[in-house]
Structure 1
Amino acid sequence: MTEEKNYRASTGVDEFFYGEVGDGLTADAIERVKFLQNINVEMPQEIVRAYGDNTTAEMAVSSGNTSVTSQFHKIPLEDKTRLLGWEKSADGLTGSGSSDNPPYVAVIFAKTYEDGHREYVGLPKGMFTRPAITGATKGESVEFSSEEIVAQFMDREVDGFEEDHSVVFAQDPKGETTQRDLLFQKIFGQPYPTTTTTTSSTTTSTTVGA
């Protein structure tokens, strides 16, 4: 029997994680940036045609660069420093200039659905570029600002695939995390992060994304 397809549209985004991977397949650590508002992954393709005898002789697909634009309520300075390769002075200041050297990072984020299932998008290897610095005067009413940051991603080896890929997808029904956990291992080389708290009598684990 054919499995029923899911035609529900996503209604939110959540769980933005990144980790420095360098030229390897394992992240040094996995970091969470909270309060993701919008994210757009562009995967452009173009049909290229060859002509002969006044007609199309052949067609092929030409793929462009995978780019990601992410908007957050606020990106902490610590995360911008890591993502953008900014320098931090011994007395705590942070500097950006022509010598900035952003590291290769991997990214995973989740699209959420009203029925409780989640679709995860993994981006194995890319670099972020520094965002614009903006500000506005406060008026009669309070208006919250947001921060946007852009990255480009490249194909990378992903365990289990014959070809290199720049985007990998996973989907879990409500209450399940099997595909999510597998994707974290494939993209970061590490399990989905949890926070462990130890008391005098018990040890409890809670998920970072909760």
Structure 2
Amino acid sequence: MAEQKNYRASTGVNEFYYGAVGDNVIADYVERVKFLQTITVEMPQEPVRAYGDNQTAEIAVSGGDVSVTAGFHKIPLEDKEKLLGWERVDGIIATGSNDNPPYVAVIFAKTFEDGSKEYVGLPKGMFTRPSVTGNSKGESTEFSSEEITASFMDREVEGFSKEKSALFAYDKKGETTNRDALFLKIFGKPYPTDEEENTGGVEG
């Protein structure tokens, strides 16, 4: 009997991890940015038609660039330094026109009310610096948020015959088998435990 399909819609996102991969398939490190709020992965495709004898002779699919827009409660300066290739001198982190962002891989999780999770892995891409915004405090307290964008490309992934730009894995509540396999394919490293994980983010 075929495995039953899951038609539940996700209700949240978390577990945003990144790691510098350069031209390798093993990340130099795996880092987490906590308090992910929103994330959108654009994977455009466009049909291209060839014509002959006044009709369509053939259709091929042209894939567009994969892009990501992620919103966080806050992106720590330490993570911006790593994601964007910013320079640190005497405790000061700086950006300029000659910044050289590293190639990074990313994994994040979509969460479901039944406790299951769907993981999305993006094997190779580059983030661009976000805007700097701020608002005056008024009569009521309002929290700001930060948004950052990236572009991703195809990369060789172990076990697949062709290069890939996005991978997906689903685990039922209490299971981690597919998550762990995805981390090895995207980062070349196992899923970090609480002791091993070097987390970014703010507390509270």
Counterpart AA for 2:20 = E
Match of 1:202 in 2: none
Match of 1:128 in 2: 127
Shift of 1:66: 0.3
Shift of 1:58: 1.1
Residues of 2 paired with 1:3 and 1:109: CA distance? 25
Task: Give the fraction of aligned pairs with identical amino acids, expressed as a percent.
Answer: 71
* Structure 1 residues 6-155: aligned runs within 5 Å: 6-89=6-89, 91-155=90-154
Shift of 1:124: 0.4
Residues of 1 paired with 2:155 and 2:2: CA distance? 33
Counterpart AA for 1:103 = P
How many residues were matched structurally?
A: 199
Residues of 1 paired with 2:25 and 2:59: CA distance? 34
Shift of 1:3: 1.3
CA RMSD of aligned residues (A): 1.5
Answering whether residue 160 of structure 2 is matched by residue 158 of structure 1, we say: no
Higher relative contact order (CA 8 A, sep 6+): 2
Residues of 1 paired with 2:100 and 2:124: CA distance? 15
Shift of 1:36: 0.2
Which blocks of at least 5 consecutive residues in structure 2 are unaligned? 200-204
Residues of 2 paired with 1:115 and 1:152: CA distance? 32
Match of 2:185 in 1: 186
Q: Secondary structure of 1:194's match?
A: coil
Counterpart AA for 1:19 = G
> In terms of Rg, which structure is larger?
1
Residues of 1 paired with 2:194 and 2:174: CA distance? 19
Report Cα offsets for 1:90-129 as digits up to 9, x if no partner: x111111111000000000000001111000000000000
Name the TM-score, length of structure 1 as normaliser.
0.92
Residues of 2 paired with 1:10 and 1:163: CA distance? 29
Residues of 1 paired with 2:161 and 2:50: CA distance? 29
Name the TM-score, length of structure 2 as normaliser.
0.95
Query: Which piece of structure 1 moves more, 153-162 or 47-56?
Result: 47-56
Shift of 1:53: 2.1
Shift of 1:48: 0.8
